[in-house]
Structure 1
Amino acid sequence: MQLNERAVLYIPDGEKESAALERVTHLAVAAHQDDIEFMAYAPIADCFGRTDLWFGGVVVSDGAGSPRKGLYADYTDEDMKKIRVTEQKKAAFVGEYGAQFMLGYPSSQVKDPDDTKIAEELTRIFRAANPRFVYTHNIADKHDTHLGTAMKVIAALRELEKDEMPERVFGCEVWRDLDWLCDEDKIYLDTSAHPNIARALSAVFDSQILGGKRYDIAAEGRRCANATYSESHACDTHEGLNYAMDLTPLILDKKLKVSDFISAHIKKFERTVREKAAYYAKED
C-alpha cells in the first residue's frame, strides 16, 4: 500500500503485506513509540498466541523530541528516531503483532489542525486492515500530540463508508487517566493476562526509561490501581485494568462536535459530584 516516504511497515512473522493487514482485528493508533503498549495492552493480550485474532499498531510521530540522558544523552534527534523505531519493532515482535506501522511524522505536523495528510494516510490503513476494533488516545488527554493523533484518527474514520467502519472505537489512557469518567461510561479493558509479556513490552523502550521516565512502572501501577479502586464494595476481580471512553458515537455521527462530546462527559461528572456533595452536606 502507498505510505509516505518516511514510513516503515514491520511484519514480525514475515507474512505478505496484504495478508498481514487483512488479518488484523484490533488496531491501535498512537502518537509515540511505547504509547500503544501502555494504553492498549488489553487487546495485545487478547490477541497474543491466537490465530483468529490479530493485533496491529500504528505509531504516527517520529519520537524525535523525547528526553534523554545516560547512554542516550548525546543522541541527536535523528539518532533517537532510529532507536525508537528499533524499540517499537522489538515490542511488535515480543507481542506477536500482525503488523506495525511507524509513519514518522514530526510532532508539529501531528498537532497541526490544518494538516490532512496524516488522516488521509490513516484512512488508507483502515481500509487495508478493516479492523473490528480501533484504539487511540482519549480526547481528554493532556498531551497535545496525543490529542492531535486522536483527531486525525476521528477524521480518518469519518471518511470510511458504513461497511468499512470498525465496530467500536476506544479512547485510552496515557497522559491523563479516565478514573473521573462516570462508571457507566467507562470501558473496562482487562490487562490481567500474561503479566510477563506486559512487563517485557514496557521494558524494551530503554531510551525512555533510561532517559528518566519510568513509564514502565507508572503504566503497571495505574493498571493495578484501577483494578483495586474500580469497586469499593467487592473483592478485586481483575489484576489489572485500563479504562477507555467509547468514541464510536463520533464516528457514527459525523456532525457531532468533538468538543460537545467531551463536554457532555465532563458536565455529567460535575453534576454527579455536585449532587453527592450537596446531599451529604445537607445543602439545598
Structure 2
Amino acid sequence: MKTTVHIHPQHTKESACQKTNHLAIVAHQDDAEIIGYSGIQQCYLKESDWFSSITLTNGSGASRGGRYANLSDTQLSAIRQSEQIKAAQIGDYAFCIQWDISSKELKEQMEFFACELSQQLATSRPDTIYTHCPTDKHSTHRVVCEVVITAIRKIMQSDHHYKPTIYGVEVWGSLDWVPKEFLVELDCSPMANLEQALIGIYDSQIDGNKGYDKAVLGRRMANATFNSSHNSDSARSLNLAIELTPLLSDQSLTISSFLAPILEAFSMQTLAHFNNEK
C-alpha cells in the first residue's frame, strides 16, 4: 500500500513513533486538525509530548469548487496531501502518515486495513487516540472508527499492558445531545492563532463555498458558550467527544451495544419532562 510519510526534522521515523503520545487516526485531510486540536495544542506547549496523525484515505472524493472545481481526483488528492503536510509542519507533529486509498477501498476491505493499521501502530502505542465518533453522519468516518477499534483490539490481544484512552470526536453532526455523564469535553482554548492557522491551511476545502475554517471554530465556541446555562464559560473553545475506551476493555462489546445506553439515556432525559402530559 502506497503511503506518504512526513517526519519532524528533529526525529527519525523510529523516534517519531516512540515519542508520540497523542495520535489522531482520521478519514480525511483536515480531520486531524478538527478532532485532535486539544492534543495538538497540548503537545505544542509541552516539550515532552508529541502529536501525530494517520489519515486513512486520499481525499480524492471531496467536493470541490472555486479554482479547484475542475481538478481530477488525482490532482485534488495531491493538493490535499500537501496541505496535510503543511498542517503537520505548522502543528509540529512528530509524524504524519497518509494512506493512498479511496473511501470505497477502505469500506470494502475493513479487516485488511485494520491489520495494516495495527502494524503501523505497533511501534508507537500512543497513550491518547482521537478518532471519529460512531454516531458521525459521514459513512467513511464511521468506518474509520470501526477500523481503529479493530486495529487497537488486535494490538491489545498480544500486548495486555497496552491500554490507551480513545475519544470519538464530533465532525459531521454535533455531540451536544449526549447526556453529560457520557460526554467528554476537550479544551481547545489555548492558542487561538494556531487553531485558526491549522484549519485555514486547507484552502482546497474552503474555496468551494465550504466554510470549514469558520464552522469548526464556531462550533467549538458554541460548545463552550452553550455548555452550561447558569454558569460563566469555563473555556473559550471545546470539542465534544465520547470516550470509546470501554470498547477496548471489553472486546466482546459491539459498537451498537456500546451506544445503546447512551441513546436510552438521551431518550429518557428528553421525554422525562413530557411524561405527565395529558
What is the TM-score normalised by the length of structure 1? 0.94
* Structure 1 counterpart SS, 2:154: coil
Q: Offset of 1:14 from its aligned partner?
A: 4.9
Q: For the structure 1 residues 17 and 230, does the alpha-carbon distance in structure 2 shift closer, same or farther, using more than 3 Å as the test?
A: same
Give 1:283's aligned residue. 277
Instruction: Choose 8-17 or 179-188, whichever is displaced more.
Output: 8-17
The C-alpha deviation readout for 1:143-192, integer Å capped at 9, x for no partner, is 00001100000110110134453431100010111101101111110000
Unaligned runs of 5+ in 1: none
Aligned counterpart for 2:103 among listed residues 107, 119, 135: 107
Matches within 5 A, 1:79-94: 79-94=75-90
Q: Offset of 1:218 from its aligned partner?
A: 0.5
Give 1:57's aligned residue. 53
Give 2:153's aligned residue. 158
The C-alpha deviation readout for 1:29-86, integer Å capped at 9, x for no partner, is 0000001111111110111142211001010001001111221112100001100110
Q: Quick one: distance in 2 between partners of 1:69 and 1:139? A: 29
Q: Quick one: distance in 2 between partners of 1:204 and 1:150? A: 25
Q: For the structure 1 residues 126 and 276, does the alpha-carbon distance in structure 2 shift closer, same or farther, using more than 3 Å as the test?
A: farther
Specify the code of the residue in structure 1 equivalent to 2:143: G
Aligned counterpart for 2:257 among listed residues 255, 260, 263: 260
Aligned counterpart for 1:220 among listed residues 208, 217, 221: 217
Q: For the structure 1 residues 9 and 164, does the alpha-carbon distance in structure 2 shift closer, same or farther, using more than 3 Å as the test?
A: farther
Give 2:132's aligned residue. 137
Give 1:77's aligned residue. 73
The C-alpha deviation readout for 1:170-225, integer Å capped at 9, x for no partner, is 00010111101101111110000100000000110000000221111100010000
* Structure 2 counterpart SS, 1:97: coil
Identity within the alignment, %: 35
Aligned counterpart for 1:37 among listed residues 33, 39, 43: 33
For the aligned residues, what is the CA RMSD? 1.3
Q: For the structure 1 residues 225 and 129, does the alpha-carbon distance in structure 2 shift closer, same or farther, using more than 3 Å as the test?
A: same
Specify the code of the residue in structure 2 equivalent to 1:139: P
Give 2:116's aligned residue. 121
Unaligned runs of 5+ in 2: none
Give 1:177's aligned residue. 174
Q: Offset of 1:257 from its aligned partner?
A: 1.0
Q: Offset of 1:256 from its aligned partner?
A: 0.4
Aligned counterpart for 2:4 among listed residues 8, 11, 24: 8
Specify the code of the residue in structure 2 equivalent to 1:44: I
Confirm or deny: 8 A CA contact 1:59 1:102 kept in the other structure.
yes
* Structure 1 counterpart SS, 2:129: strand
Q: Quick one: distance in 1 between partners of 2:51 and 2:260? A: 31
Confirm or deny: 8 A CA contact 1:57 1:101 kept in the other structure.
yes
* Structure 2 counterpart SS, 1:192: coil
Runs of 4+ residues deviating >4 angstroms? none
Confirm or deny: 8 A CA contact 2:167 2:245 kept in the other structure.
yes
Give 1:21's aligned residue. 17
Specify the code of the residue in structure 2 equivalent to 1:283: E
Confirm or deny: 8 A CA contact 1:131 1:166 kept in the other structure.
no
What is the TM-score normalised by the length of structure 2? 0.96
